Amino acid sequence: MSNKKQAAQAYWKENLKLLLTLLVVWFAVSYGCGILFVDALDAIKIGGFPLGFWFAQQGSIYTFVILIFVYTARMNTLDRKYDVHEE
Amino acid sequence: MDTQTLIYIFVGLTFALYIGIAIWSRAGSTSEYYVAGGGVHPIANGMATGADWMSAASFISMAGIISFIGRDGAVYLMGWTGGYVLLAMCLAPYLRKFGKFTVPEFIGERYYSQAARVVAVVCVIFISFTYVAGQMRGVGIVFSRYLEVDINAGVLIGMAIVFFYAVLGGMKGITYTQVAQYCVMIFAYMIPAIYISMLITGNPIPQLGFGGTLSGSDTYLLDKLNGLSQELGFSQYTGGSKSTVDMFFITMALMVGTAGLPHVIVRFFTVPKVSDARKSAGYALLFIAILYTTAPAVASFARVNLLETVSEAEYQELPDWFESWENAGLLAWKDKNADGKIQYQAGKPFEGKPAFDSEARGASEERLVTNQATDNGNELYVDRDIMVLANPEIAQLPGWVVALMAAGGLAAALSTAAGLLLVISTSISHDLLKSNIMPNIDEKKELLAARLAAAAAICVAGYFGINPPGFVAQVVAFAFGLAASSFFPAILMGIFYKKMNKEGAIAGMVSGLVFTFAYIIYFKFVNPAANTADNWFFGISPEGIGTLGMLLNFVVAIAVSKVTAPPPEHIQHLVEDIRVPRGAGAPVADH
């Protein structure tokens, strides 16, 4: 296998790892905190918000925005590391 | 100046702006027409995506719906934002690298099959028409409410405006008008929200005021709301009433559906680079999140306000806005126990929408409703849309804010309609005509065909706007369910699973689609009486069935691909190529 091909595979592997990590957070915050464990979390209150309710109507959306920007920054680093970035 | 004059001025100015932009940015080539020449800045594309995405339903109806269903409204809030995470990480950058004009084009090429492309085109057209019919109706409603013209005349004016910039400017015109429309829309949404948050909680940031205490007391807003709701027999505002399974499946169907909607995906073909596609998905969600995190706050403010204002109030003591919205038919009161006070409780006051007895007035001077009363104690009919529309009046804001709302509602409806119409016209001219029927037509003729298709699509959409099929609201679930069960898995596997072949992809799309379609049709149209949790598969409502359709698509596709020939070598190279960002040029036509 050529070096170039190996590099491409390593790049893809790291990409998938990052993707899976971020998607786990995505799932945990929205489906976990906002739906599956929402009633348990509602027992905790932050100010006037029951925590589960806050995740369902506010927190998950903030997390989504942060996730995309983290992904963008990490991918740009990764692209440079493997020298596949665009000129 | 009176409010009506201000409305004419605001709406007139924004329309002039849109037309001005359309003339400045008209498209000269198919590349400009389909993907704005691939040169849109990621922030501009983010705003355009936001405007494209947020329709009249997001702008006018969403906060109202949440207001009535409380925590369950999270399915829309999470469902219509979480899909952007999938889009940014799993689809947009790779499709941008692929560098073509349309979603069916990707499906056709990746699965080396014209048949797959045609299946995709049919889905695109169906999904987009379903969606656009509702938008044109939205345009008509906003016009008739604010400009005092007839709904049909409103639809015609809306058609004329969209015609102008969609036909002339194509994607380029639409993109830059959408940037302007986003600004108008977000401004119009935030100003009344900030005012009403200050009024009710003393906090100028609605997202925080929502969790704060009511002005002049130390009771938390949400506690107060729960208390009031329970007292009147509604379920707790912060507690849900949908089952966990159904919440899960609906949220997933909306998220995945969002990521699979062609008019959203195609926006990411317009940026110059792969890294811009990722970035611009982030900006798009940021711009969308501003409205989506404000909506639940507005919902709770409006709910508290409504309950406190109307419950057990003497009809004649009510503030003026009650009467003006009663005149508009969005509020109706049937004094069942003839005590002159409004009893507002859980349950329908009467069947269906209110039918008023022309100008007749009841004992308290209220408009008389001719509907048969139900036998519960609720006397008040409230249209959900009022929660946003009446905000400026409830907060006693000046006339220019009301005018801004009118312009914002129109911007929301027009921008979404234009985006959808473009996708329809592109599918017809590029995926059907150029690729199947007349492969030899030159670029000039293709551009003309695209413009004609857009014009025809506007007429069809306008027809649906004027004669809405009674089921418009119901079929929106279709658009998401079908996108979730067809496009999303096909595109995802096209990128992440090199061994996925033509047979698997087509079998997967068809089975996901047929299953989802049949389930929705059965419960919504064939046997609506059976549409209850007891009869649903695993307790999944038709709104959430797209998720199951998607899973079915994955299972069938993988099973079929295992027993059929692997995709040819050059397709596997293509997949390897789209996984690497370098080398993404401007989008080009095939052939």
> What are B361's strand-pairing partners?
B367
| Dihedral angle sign, alpha carbons of residues B40, B44, B50, B51 | negative
Locate tokens 């506007």: which residue? Answer: B458
Contact (Cβ atoms closer than 8 angstroms) between residue B256 and residue B484: yes
Distance CA B49, CA B258 (A): 12
% of chain B beyond a pLDDT of 90 = 32
Q: How confident is the model over B145-170, as pLDDT tens digits? A: 777 777 788 888 888 888 887 888 88
Phi-psi region of B358 (alpha: psi -120 to 50; beta: other; left: phi over 0): left
Distance CA B207, CA B3 (A): 29
Strands A45-46 and B380-382: unpaired
Q: Which helix (H) or strand (E) holds B60?
A: none
pLDDT at position B527:
83
pTM: 0.91
> What are B369's strand-pairing partners?
B356
Pairwise CB contact (< 8 Å): B71 & A57? yes
Pairwise CB contact (< 8 Å): B240 & A38? yes
Q: Which of A22, A66, A68, A81 should one mutate to test binding to chain B, selecting the residue with the greatest count of B CBs within 10 A?
A: A68
Q: How confident is the model over A29-39, as pLDDT tens digits? A: 999 999 999 88
Q: Decide if pLDDT at B419 tops 60.
A: yes
> What are B341's strand-pairing partners?
B314
Q: Decide if pLDDT at B410 tops 50.
A: yes
pLDDT at position B591:
46
Q: Which residue of B has its CA nearest to A73?
A: B279
Nearest CB to B84 within list A11, A15, A68? A68
The pair of structure tokens assigned to B334 is 């049937």
Pairwise CB contact (< 8 Å): A26 & B82? yes
Nearest CB to A53 within list B88, B238, B282? B238
> What are B519's strand-pairing partners?
none
% of chain B beyond a pLDDT of 70 = 97
Cα B123 to the center of its chain, rounded Å: 18
Tell me, what DSSP letter sits at residue B170?
Answer: H
pLDDT at position B87:
94
Q: Decide if pLDDT at A58 tops 90.
A: yes
Chain A positions touching chain B (beta carbons under 8 Å) = 8, 11-12, 15, 19, 22-23, 26, 30-31, 34-36, 38-39, 42, 46-50, 53-54, 56-58, 60-62, 64-65, 67-69, 71-72, 75-76, 79, 84-87
Distance CA B340, CA B362 (A): 10
Q: Which one is predicted more confidently, B575 or B135?
A: B575
Q: Which residue of A has its CA nearest to B91?
A: A19
Contact (Cβ atoms closer than 8 angstroms) between residue B447 and residue B455: no
Backbone phi, psi, residue A31, to 5°: -75, -35
Q: Which residue of A has its CA nearest to B276?
A: A72
Pairwise CB contact (< 8 Å): B293 & A8? no
Distance CA B49, CA B78 (A): 17
Q: Which of B130, B87, B120 is nearest to B255 (CA)?
A: B87
Q: Decide if pLDDT at B471 tops 60.
A: no
b or e along A8-33 (b: 16 or more beta carbons within 10 Å of the residue's beta carbon)?
beebeeebeebbeebbebbeebbbbb
Going from the C-alpha of B530 to that of each of B183, B477, B538, B542, the distances in angstroms are: 44, 17, 15, 12
Nearest CB to A30 within list B82, B88, B278? B82
Pairwise CB contact (< 8 Å): A48 & B212? yes
Mean pLDDT value across chain B: 87
pLDDT at position B469:
62
Cα B270 to the center of its chain, rounded Å: 21
**Residue numbers in A near B97 (CB within 8 A):** none
Pairwise CB contact (< 8 Å): B289 & A85? no
Q: How confident is the model over B351-398, as pLDDT tens digits? A: 877 888 777 788 788 888 888 888 888 899 988 878 887 878 777 788
Gap from A8 CA to chain B (nearest CA, Å) = 8
Count other Cβ atoms within 10 Å, centred on residue B8: 15
Pairwise CB contact (< 8 Å): B85 & A11? no
**Residue numbers in B near A68 (CB within 8 A):** 84-85, 88-89, 278, 281-282, 285
Contact (Cβ atoms closer than 8 angstroms) between residue B256 and residue A26: no
Q: How confident is the model over A3-43, as pLDDT tens digits? A: 878 888 999 999 999 999 999 999 999 999 999 998 899 89
Distance CA B211, CA A49 (A): 5
The pair of structure tokens assigned to B230 is 């329970």
The pair of structure tokens assigned to B268 is 């990411």
Determine the average pLDDT of the residues in B544-561. Answer: 95
Burial group, residue B247, by CB count within 10 angstroms (0-12, 13-18, 19+): buried
pLDDT at position B290:
96
Gap from A74 CA to chain B (nearest CA, Å) = 11
Contact (Cβ atoms closer than 8 angstroms) between residue B38 and residue B270: yes
Pairwise CB contact (< 8 Å): B248 & A31? yes
**Per-residue pLDDT band at B586 (split at 50, 70, 90):** low
Nearest CB to B82 within list A8, A60, A86? A60
Q: Which of A57, A58, A84 should one mutate to test binding to chain B, selecting the residue with the greatest count of B CBs within 10 A?
A: A57
pLDDT at position B237:
87
**Residue numbers in B near A42 (CB within 8 A):** 238-239
Pairwise CB contact (< 8 Å): B211 & A15? no
Nearest CB to B78 within list A30, A46, A47? A30
Q: How confident is the model over B420-466, as pLDDT tens digits? A: 888 888 888 888 888 878 888 888 888 888 889 888 988 988 888 77
Distance CA B406, CA B419 (A): 20
Lowest mean pLDDT among A28-37, B46-55, B345-354, B462-471: B462-471
SS3 content of chain B, % helix, strand, coil (to 5): 70, 5, 25
For B25-113, where are the alpha helices, taking DSSP H only?
30-35, 42-53, 56, 62-69, 74-86, 92-98, 103-110
Going from the C-alpha of B506 to that of each of B308, B492, B509, the distances in angstroms are: 56, 14, 5
**Per-residue pLDDT band at B331 (split at 50, 70, 90):** confident
- Judged by CB atoms within 8 Å, which residues 237-276 of B form the interface with A? 238-240, 244, 247-248, 251-252, 273-275
Q: How confident is the model over B204-221, as pLDDT tens digits? A: 999 999 888 888 888 898
Q: Decide if pLDDT at B589 tops 70.
A: no
In the three-class reduction of DSSP (H, G, I as helix; E, B as strand; rest coil), residue B361 is classed as strand
**Residue numbers in B near A71 (CB within 8 A):** 88-89, 278, 282
Q: Decide if pLDDT at B533 tops 90.
A: no
pLDDT at position B326:
83
Pairwise CB contact (< 8 Å): A86 & B292? no
Contact (Cβ atoms closer than 8 angstroms) between residue B500 and residue B113: no
**Per-residue pLDDT band at B291 (split at 50, 70, 90):** very high
**Residue numbers in A near B576 (CB within 8 A):** 8
Q: Decide if pLDDT at B305 tops 90.
A: no
**Residue numbers in B near A17 (CB within 8 A):** none
Q: Decide if pLDDT at B239 tops 90.
A: no
Locate tokens 């990052």: which residue? Answer: A18
Tell me, what DSSP letter sits at residue B89?
Answer: I
Q: Decide if pLDDT at B475 tops 70.
A: no
**Per-residue pLDDT band at A65 (split at 50, 70, 90):** very high
- Judged by CB atoms within 8 Å, which residues 173-212 of B form the interface with A? 207, 210-212
Gap from B375 CA to chain A (nearest CA, Å) = 34
Contacts of A11 (CB under 8 A, 6+ apart): A78, A82, A84, B580
> What are B380's strand-pairing partners?
B333
